[in-house]
């Protein structure tokens, strides 16, 4: 059986995730180890209930099924997220390795924050003669932010300088952009340089400075941290700190293998990152990075085209979803789009809560932790072809898994949720393209919305169907009422004609109904109507005949001639006897009999429903005259 390791991350940290996972993959492939990547898209400012729904994913794996785990700790956006994961596994004896941020009780590997940031400020001071420096901060209590700020202050102090100002932030582009805007518009002095806690913030700073008429690096310098590809593909190219996360990921894998054999939660190891000067600090970029920027520019049209293709993909899904009336329709109406679609590229599975489509929103449980023990794979694609839907045990994680081969596979598990509703989760196999290009978040978010809207549509259609049935159903007999006769029974006759089949219309009427009401009372009159309806349904198979209460004590029944043995006249005689026998077994306190007439309708018959009812009514009237004579004799 193959060794399995778990990797836990937040997908918003795209670049870190890309390089760290690539490094882990490269090492795992050499040893045939399977990687299970559990990734959420949680934001600290997002809806709390939606965040809690997403966190269910981290409670999905059984610790005892994993040899060890790697936590990409600095990717998480809410407090205690990584601590929670660590406790789930470490408390069960599974070794854990945290990357970039320390967690008590877990081994640690990371790139140092101090030297890279110190070197960046040292470069600004010694090469570009900067004296007035503003620090654009990350999340206030974040370990990395604290170390980076202290490094800025230390480098300034070593040159007898002080920090000019600190702008609060959260590592985000827009927050930093807004802080820089407020600083400038409040008439504050322009510094020599903005030193930002990461590249996202640096790009936001450059954009805001440009919008206010300042040139970077002509008027002011800017540096970042993390050496993101986006920062190297922009103008000006960002001066930043390269953390070499791919090498960190590879080293982390091999260290985890050591920890599996010999656990050591106190292990710590740092690797120094390197500051790379570039255009935003007034330096010439490397030739390699110039080529990267050109490549990104050339690929811009391709990215726009792919965005358009994804829009068309979801447009197709939305259109086809209007034909889905229940869960069973999903594969027939939607499956072909998922099978032929470009997104994702490889094998994938939609694993949903078994009752997701069955319960309306008011009843749907607001679970905070844990998926159902039995999950339902509503759709799966392997080797480009759809596979049969199936139920599977939650503890297996996947509806399909081969633990016997010696090939290393990467399974990416992403939660599906919408506000307070847990939908399930998606599994992607060996497909990192969307994950690394950040289109996965867009695809998953659209899928969340698609599934919740499909659920609402199905529930609404089922509710409308029930309302329609109630609207067309006679309360006393449970048969179709007059409206139901128009919509269902008469439509059945038209369908038989279209399919070149002969149909038959029966018209039944209770004998001497007025006497029953006058002598025995209207309650017994209702009982007579109900008993007659029951008798007709009992004597005619419900899967072959459609029943309606035409009005008062009159009934219409339609069916195919294929349901009749012998000719129509013989069938009529037998049916009357069968109905009377059924009624007699009910031991009513009054005499009850029924007259039944019929009309046979051939496929080429051009008369209308009024004509057919009149023919059957006349046929019934002949029977009624005979019945009245029998009653008079009695």
pLDDT score at 241:
96
pLDDT in tens, 14-32: 788 888 999 999 999 999 9
Q: What is the pLDDT of residues 121-166, one digit of tens each?
A: 999 999 999 999 999 999 988 888 999 999 999 999 999 999 999 9
Q: Which residue has the higher pLDDT, 80 or 213?
A: 213
Strand partners, 411: 36, 429
Q: Considering only residues 232 and 299, tell me which one the structure prediction assigns the higher pLDDT.
A: 232
pLDDT tens digit string along 508-555? 999 999 999 999 999 999 999 999 999 999 999 888 899 999 999 999
Answer whether 633's CB lies under 8 Å from 517's CB: no
Give the Cα separation of 199 and 206 in Å (integer): 10
Q: What is the DSSP string of 57-101?
A: GGGSS-GGG-SEEEE-GGG--STTHHHHHHHHHHTTT--EEEESS
Mean pLDDT of the chain: 90
What does the alpha-carbon distance between residue 112 and residue 198 come to, in Å, rounded to a whole number? 14
Does residue 229 carry a pLDDT above 90? no
Query: What is the CATH class of 114-245+266-298?
Result: alpha beta
For 237, phi then psi, to 5°, come to -65, 135
Q: In the beta sheet, which residues pair with residue 632?
A: none
Mean pLDDT of 87-93: 91
Average pLDDT over residues 87-113: 92
Residue 631 pLDDT exceeds 70 = no
Say what the pLDDT of residue 47 is: 61
User: Contact at 8 Å (CB) between 418 and 449?
Assistant: yes
Q: pLDDT per residue over 575-604, tens digit each?
A: 999 999 999 999 999 989 999 999 999 999
pLDDT digits (tens, 9 = 90+) for 236-259: 999 999 988 889 999 999 999 999
The owner of tokens 């600095």 is 74
Long-range contacts made by residues 308-316, C-beta under 8 angstroms, separation at least 24?
309/342, 310/343, 310/439, 310/442, 310/443, 310/446, 313/337, 313/341, 313/342, 313/343, 314/446, 314/450
Q: Where are the domains of the chain?
A: 4-108+305-460, 114-245+266-298, 473-633
Consecutive H or E run containing 416: strand 410-418
Q: Is the pLDDT of residue 213 over 70?
A: yes
CA-CA distance, 572 to 615, in Å (whole number)? Answer: 14
Indicate if 473-633 has the same CATH topology as 114-245+266-298.
Answer: no
Region 59-78: mean pLDDT is: 90
CATH number of 473-633: 3.30.70.270
Longest dimension (CA), the chain: 127
Looking at the predicted structure, is the pLDDT value of residue 367 above 60? no
| Confidence at residue 620, expressed as pLDDT on a 0 to 100 scale | 94
For residues 88-114, give the mean pLDDT.
Answer: 92
Nearest alpha carbon to residue 171 among 193, 148, 199, 152 = 199
Q: pLDDT at position 368, please?
A: 43
CA distance 562 to 544: 9
Query: Per the structure block, which two tokens stand in for 582?
Result: 């059924």
More confident residue, 295 or 206: 206
Q: pLDDT at residue 43 above 50?
A: yes
Strands 410-418 and 34-40 come out as parallel
Whole-prediction pTM value?
0.74
Q: Is the pLDDT of residue 348 over 70?
A: yes
């Amino acid at each position: 059986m193959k060794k399995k390791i778990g990797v836990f991350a937040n997908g918003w940290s795209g670049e870190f995730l890309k390089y760290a996972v690539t490094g882990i993959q490269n090492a795992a492939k050499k040893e045939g180890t399977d990687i299970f990547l559990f990734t959420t898209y949680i934001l600290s400012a997002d809806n709390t209930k939606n965040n809690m729904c997403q966190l269910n994913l981290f409670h999905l794996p059984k610790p005892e099924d994993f040899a060890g785990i790697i936590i990409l700790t600095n990717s998480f956006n809410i407090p205690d997220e990584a601590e929670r994961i660590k406790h789930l596994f470490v408390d069960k004896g599974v070794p854990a390795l945290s990357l970039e941020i320390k967690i008590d009780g877990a081994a640690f590997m990371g790139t140092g924050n101090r030297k890279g940031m110190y070197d960046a400020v040292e470069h600004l001071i010694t090469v570009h003669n900067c004296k007035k420096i503003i620090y654009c901060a990350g999340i206030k209590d974040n370990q990395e932010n604290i170390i980076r700020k202290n490094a800025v202050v230390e480098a300034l102090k070593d040159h007898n300088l002080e920090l000019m100002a600190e702008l609060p932030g959260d590592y985000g582009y827009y927050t930093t952009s807004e802080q820089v805007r407020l600083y400038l518009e409040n008439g504050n002095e322009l510094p020599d340089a903005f030193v930002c806690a990461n590249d996202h913030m640096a790009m936001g700073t450059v954009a805001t400075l440009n919008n206010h008429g300042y040139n970077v690096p002509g008027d002011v310098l800017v540096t970042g941290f993390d050496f993101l590809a986006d920062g190297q593909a922009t103008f000006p190219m960002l001066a930043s700190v390269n953390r070499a996360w791919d090498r960190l990921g590879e080293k982390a894998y091999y260290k985890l293998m050591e920890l599996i054999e010999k656990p050591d939660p106190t292990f710590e190891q740092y690797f120094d990152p390197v500051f790379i000067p570039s255009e935003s600090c007034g330096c010439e970029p490397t030739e390699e990075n110039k080529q990267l920027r050109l490549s990104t520019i050339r690929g811009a049209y391709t990215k726009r085209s792919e965005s358009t293709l994804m829009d068309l993909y979801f447009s197709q899904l939305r259109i086809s979803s209007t034909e889905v009336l229940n869960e069973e329709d999903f594969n027939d109406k939607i499956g072909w789009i998922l099978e032929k679609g470009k997104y994702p590229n490889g094998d994938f599975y939609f694993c949903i809560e078994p009752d997701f489509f069955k319960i309306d929103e008011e009843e749907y449980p607001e679970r905070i932790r844990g998926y159902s023990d039995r999950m339902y794979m509503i759709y799966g694609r392997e080797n480009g072809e759809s596979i049969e839907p199936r139920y599977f045990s939650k503890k297996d994680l996947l509806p399909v898994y081969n633990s016997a081969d010696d090939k290393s596979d990467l399974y990416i598990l992403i939660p599906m949720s919408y506000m307070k509703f847990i939908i399930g989760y998606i599994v992607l196999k060996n497909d990192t393209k969307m994950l690394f290009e950040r289109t996965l978040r867009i695809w998953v978010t659209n899928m969340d919305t698609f599934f919740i809207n499909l659920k609402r549509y199905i529930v609404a259609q089922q509710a409308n169907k029930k309302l329609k049935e109630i609207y067309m159903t006679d309360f006393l007999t449970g048969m179709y009422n007059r409206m139901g006769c128009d919509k269902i029974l008469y439509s059945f006759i038209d369908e038989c004609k279209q399919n070149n089949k002969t149909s038959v219309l029966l018209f039944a009427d209770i004998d001497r109904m007025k006497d029953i009401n006058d002598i025995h009372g209207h309650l017994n009159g209702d009982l007579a109507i109900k008993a007659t309806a029951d008798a007709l349904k009992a004597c005619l198979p419900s899967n072959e005949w459609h029943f309606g209460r035409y009005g008062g004590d009159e009934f219409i029944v339609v069916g195919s001639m294929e349901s009749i043995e012998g000719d129509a006249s013989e069938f009529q005689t037998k049916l009357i006897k069968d109905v009377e026998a059924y009624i007699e077994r009910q031991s009513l306190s009054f005499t009850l009999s029924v007259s039944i007439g019929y009309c046979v309708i051939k496929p080429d018959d051009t008369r209308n429903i009024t004509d057919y009812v009149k023919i059957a009514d006349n046929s019934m009237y002949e029977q009624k005259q005979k019945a009245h004579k029998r009653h008079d004799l009695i």
